[in-house]
Amino acid sequence: MNERNSTQLLPVLVWHDPRVHLLDDTWLLTIFAVLLAIALPWFVSGLHIDFAATAAGLLALAAVHVVLAAISGVRPSSQSRGTLGLSSLHALGVAAVAFIWHHAGGLQNPLFLAVFALPVIGSIFLSRWQAYLMATLAVLLVLLAASSEAPELRWYAPWLGTVGGWLDALLGGASGGASLPFAAFYAPSQYFVVLLEVFVIMMFACAVAAEYLANVFDTLAAQMWTARAEAARSEELWATLVEQLPVAAVLLDAGTHEVVGASAIALKKFLTGAEPVVGRDFFEAIQFSYPEPIERLVDGADGVEPLCMVRFGGRLLATEIRVQHLAQHGRRFA
């Protein structure tokens, strides 16, 4: 079968798990947002940044992105295992963002905290409760990192003292926020408390907004699947209607001109040969004196050819040809 005789198929994206692609896009956007949140304060205020640790965190985010891209074409063995694996990767990405923030200015870089909104909102593609879980994880990690940078915060939350001291020792005691851009400027502890309170409110507000967006998307998805089902039923009805039309009608593949079906009148008047009609080339089954105008209509848009000459039984018949296209099961018919 040559290229002309091959069936024309419309490209359709087949995904084993569409959530993987959405999470992959979310983390790709997060990486660009992290780069912007690092570069902008560094150029504007000369903020001290631990570039080695920041680069390591960015490599971790890139690894999350690569893993999600790699498993996008793999069918999960079960829905629960797939969700658990994606949730673990998402949580690892949130931890990497917190690590980068700690070494890219920390409390001296409050603009960076807005980046956490992306993975919190993106987690809604996993499940409804994932947004609240990731918001809680982001809040805990930021509080721990902040307590290691500003020990005075431990007065407001004594339970942060032990954990913050352990985290400070684990990270070497030299956080990105320890070196201030202005050596004589020391922000009061109330400033950090208000900053963290605003961050907590923003995270859970993003989780609530993500749940609302999920409700909207679910409604739109249900309407889309309903519309697709109705369209499929209408396409099948149209194909059946062609066979029952009280006029000579032929259904053919628009790409290969292969006959798919024909009405009873068309079979009786024009397609009475011994050879089966279905599967034959339309322009071989029906002999037109000048088939080029009909081919242009079939290959192009809908239209009418008012005067066509058809060879039938040693005679020439003048007729009008009307072409109308429809799509069904990824194929284009006329």
Looking at the DSSP assignment, which residues form a beta bridge with residue 304? 322
Within this chain, do residues 203 and 306 fall inside the same structural domain, yes or no? Answer: no
Is residue 326 within 8 A of residue 6, CB to CB? The reply is no
Q: What is the pLDDT of residue 204?
A: 92
**Where does a domain end: 179, 200, 230?**
230
Which value, to the nearest 10 degrees, does the dihedral of the CA atoms of residues 30, 216, 72, 229 take?
-160
Q: Which residues of the chain have pLDDT under 50?
A: 1-15, 172-185
- Does residue 5 belong to any structural domain of this protein? no
Q: Measuring CA to CA, which residue among 30, 52, 186, 183 is closest to residue 116?
A: 30
* DSSP-derived secondary structure for 288-313: ESS-HHHHHHHHSS-EEEEEEEEEET
228: exposed, middle or buried (C-beta count within 10 Å: 0-12, 13-18, 19+)? Answer: exposed
Within this chain, do residues 173 and 312 fall inside the same structural domain, yes or no? Answer: no
Q: What is the pLDDT of residue 232?
A: 66
Which value, to the nearest 10 degrees, does the dihedral of the CA atoms of residues 83, 85, 91, 94 take?
-100
177: left (phi over 0), alpha (psi -120 to 50) or beta: alpha
Instruction: Please give the distance of CA 187 from its chain centroid, rounded to a whole number.
Output: 42
**Where does a domain end: 230, 262, 297?**
230
Within this chain, do residues 36 and 127 fall inside the same structural domain, yes or no? Answer: yes
Q: What is the pLDDT of residue 298?
A: 78
- Does residue 132 belong to any structural domain of this protein? yes
Within this chain, do residues 139 and 50 fall inside the same structural domain, yes or no? Answer: yes
Within this chain, do residues 128 and 157 fall inside the same structural domain, yes or no? Answer: yes
Domain that residue 255 falls in? 245-333
- Does residue 240 belong to any structural domain of this protein? no
Is residue 176 within 8 A of residue 53, CB to CB? The reply is yes
- Does residue 150 belong to any structural domain of this protein? yes
**Where does a domain end: 207, 230, 253?**
230
This prediction's pTM: 0.62
Q: Measuring CA to CA, which residue among 289, 293, 291 is closest to residue 281?
A: 291
- Does residue 87 belong to any structural domain of this protein? yes
What is the tally of structural domains in the chain? 2
